[in-house]
């Protein structure tokens, strides 16, 4: 079965600390993986996708097929990074499957 697991409901860090939001997936084929973000009072939006191998707002994510993980990382958290983060995957059907989401709280 296709599944995305984000084990932490809430991650709280201080400004300047490193951040790692965990995402594990279950999929039998080759998935496409994404991180979506929802800032307060804003709509859900794409943060990054694994095929782009890009860094957005200082965030990176590497697909580890051996560990079936796609963790989101940032070396130095900023207060404006506080938001809800969703990991998601699509398979060959194109339908997005979301994880439960992790709230990142960056304290001053």
What whole-number distance in Å separates Cα of residue 92 and Cα of residue 32? 9
Question: Cβ 37 to another protein, closest distance in Å?
Answer: 11
Q: What is the DSSP letter of 76?
A: S
Residues lying near another protein in the complex (CB under 8 A) are found at 4, 6, 9, 32, 34, 43-46, 49, 51, 86, 90-101
Q: 64 or 100: whose CB is closer to another protein?
A: 100
Question: Cβ 14 to another protein, closest distance in Å?
Answer: 25
- Could you give the dihedral angle defined by the CA atoms of residues 18, 78, 39 and 93, in that order, rounded to the nearest 10 degrees? -40
Q: 30 or 108: whose CB is closer to another protein?
A: 30
**Count of alpha carbons within 13 Å of 12, Cβ hemisphere only?**
3
Question: Cβ 76 to another protein, closest distance in Å?
Answer: 26
């Amino acid at each position: 079965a296709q599944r995305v697991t984000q084990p932490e409901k809430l991650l709280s860090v201080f400004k300047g600390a490193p951040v790692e939001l965990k995402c594990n997936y279950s999929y039998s084929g080759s998935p496409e993986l994404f991180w979506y973000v929802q800032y307060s009072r804003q709509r859900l939006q794409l943060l990054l996708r694994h095929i782009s191998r890009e860094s957005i707002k200082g965030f990176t994510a590497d697909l580890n097929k051996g560990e079936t993980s796609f963790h989101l990382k940032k070396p130095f958290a900023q207060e404006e990074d506080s938001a809800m983060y969703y990991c998601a995957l699509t398979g060959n059907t194109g339908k997005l499957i979301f994880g439960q989401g992790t709230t990142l709280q960056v304290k001053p």
